[in-house]
Amino acid sequence: MPGVISTRTGAAHARITGIGAYRPRRVVPNSELVEAIDSSDEWIQERSGIKTRHFAGEGESVIDMSEFATRDALEMAGLEAGEVDAVVLATVSHPYQTPAAAPALADRMGMDKPVAFDISAACAGYCHGISLANDMVRGGSARNVAVIGVERLSDFTSRTDRGTAFIFGDGAGTAIVSAAEEPGIGPTVWGSEGDKWDVIAQNESWIDVHEQKLDWPTIGMQGQRVFRWAVWSMAPVAQRALDVAGVSVDQLDAFIPHQANVRIIDALCKQLRMPEHVPVARDIIDSANTSAASVPLATERMLREGLAPRGGLALQIGFGAGLSYAAQVITLP
C-alpha cells in the first residue's frame, strides 16, 4: 500500500486580535538634521510631510523594541506569551545576517518554543507577515501568530545623504493574529518588481564592504523613481485588495497606507477616490518612514487616538524595497 500523507486544516477564519507599538523616547526634529544635508525644516515638511522622527537609544535593539510592542499587543489580545506558537518578524535592520531576531524575541518573551523566523520585504514586510499569519492559522500550522514590523533604520542611514537622511525613523509594531468566527483578513494582493531592485538598496554588499574596506553601508534611494512607482502602481494594488475582499471605499473605517511621504498618501487617496469620511493614517508627520513598522505603528495610533473604531474595516498597504508590495483589508482589533 503506498503511503498517503495526512494533512491538517485550521480555523475557518483569522483576524487581528491585538496591536501594540513602541516608539523610542528620543524625538529628533528636522532642525537637528538639516545642516548636514544643506536642507531646511520647510523643505522637508513640504516635500515629505515629516516634522519629527524617533531614534532608538544607545543599545536599544530591534529585539528590545519588539518586546515592548509585543507585550502590549498580547495584552490587547488577552493572551499569555506561552499561547503564541508562531513569531513572524519583518525587518531590514536587524544587524545580524544570522540568526534571525524572531527566536531571540520569543525566548525573551518566555514563549514555548514557537516557530520563529524573520522576513525581509522592507516596507511591505508587515503586510506580508499578516498574509502569512492568516494562512498559517487557516492552514492549521499555528493558532496564535505574533507579526512584528520593527526597524532601527538610524543605524543604516547616512546623515549626509540628502535623499534619505530625513526620511527614516525607528520603532516597532506588533499584531496578534488568531482564529476568528468571521473573516477578519481579506485576501492579500501582493507581488514584486525585481527589475527595480536597485532603486532602494543597501549601497554595497557585505562582501564588497569587507573586501574593498568600504565604510559602513547605508540605504540609498532614487527618491523620484520610487515616488512615481508608489503613486502610479500602488493605487491599483490597493483597489484590487478592496475588490477581492468585496469591500468598497465607502465601507472603510480607515485607510492605513505605508508611511513613506504625505504627498504619496494624498495621491493614493485621490486615485482611490477615498471619501472624506474615511480617516487616513498620517503617522509619518511625527514618526517619519519606519519601513516594516510603519503600518502597525500607524494602526495602533489610530485606535489609541480614537481616529478609527475598534472592529472597523481598514485597508492597509505596504510597499518598498524589492520593489515589493502587499495589501489587504482587515478588521481592526
What residues numbered 185-204 form the site for ligand UT7, per CB under 6 A?
A: 200
Q: Which of 29, 223, 309, 312 binds ligand UT7 (CB under 6 A)?
A: 223
* Least distance CB 174 / ligand UT7 (angstroms): 20
Would residue 258 show up in a list of annotated catalytic residues for this protein?
A: yes
How far from the centroid of its chain's Cα atoms is residue 309's Cα? 20
How far from the centroid of its chain's Cα atoms is residue 144's Cα? 19
* Least distance CB 53 / ligand UT7 (angstroms): 13
Q: Which of 14, 16, 21, 37 binds ligand UT7 (CB under 6 A)?
A: 37
Q: CA 175 to CA 300: how far, in whole Å?
A: 9
* Least distance CB 213 / ligand UT7 (angstroms): 29
**Beta-sheet strand order (sheet of 254-257):** 189-192, 324-331, 313-320, 254-257
* Triad 247, 249, 254: Cα angle to 5°: 100
Q: CA 27 to CA 327: how far, in whole Å?
A: 30
Annotated catalytic residue: which of 94, 128, 258, 269? 258
Would residue 123 show up in a list of annotated catalytic residues for this protein?
A: yes
Mention every residue, 6+ apart, whose C-beta is less than 8 A from residue 197. Answer: 322, 323
Rounded to 10 degrees, the C-alpha dihedral 250/254/256/257 comes to: 20
Q: Which of 43, 81, 117, 193 binds ligand UT7 (CB under 6 A)?
A: 43
* Least distance CB 61 / ligand UT7 (angstroms): 22
Number of residues that bind ligand UT7 (CB under 6 A): 22
Which of 144, 137, 147 shows the shortest CA–CA distance to 14? 137
Would residue 127 show up in a list of annotated catalytic residues for this protein?
A: no
Q: Which stretch binds ligand UT7 (CB under 6 A): 16-24, 72-80, 101-109, 219-227?
A: 219-227
Straight-line distance from the first to the last Cα atom of the chain, in angstroms, rounded to the nearest whole number: 48
Q: CA 26 to CA 176: how far, in whole Å?
A: 27
Amino acid identity of residue 261, one-letter, is N
* Nearest CB to ligand UT7, comparing residues 87 and 284: 284
Q: Which of 13, 39, 159, 209 binds ligand UT7 (CB under 6 A)?
A: 39
Rounded to 10 degrees, the C-alpha dihedral 111/70/230/323 comes to: -20
What residues numbered 87-146 form the site for ligand UT7, per CB under 6 A?
A: 123
* Nearest CB to ligand UT7, comparing residues 146 and 321: 321
* Nearest CB to ligand UT7, comparing residues 123 and 136: 123
Q: CA 68 to CA 11: how far, in whole Å?
A: 28
* Least distance CB 224 / ligand UT7 (angstroms): 4
Annotated catalytic residue: which of 123, 127, 144, 269? 123
Q: CA 163 to CA 157: how far, in whole Å?
A: 10
Binding site for ligand UT7 (CB under 6 A): 37, 39, 43, 47-48, 123, 162-163, 166-167, 200, 223-224, 226-227, 230, 260-261, 264, 289, 291, 320
**Which residues are known to be catalytic?**
123, 258, 289
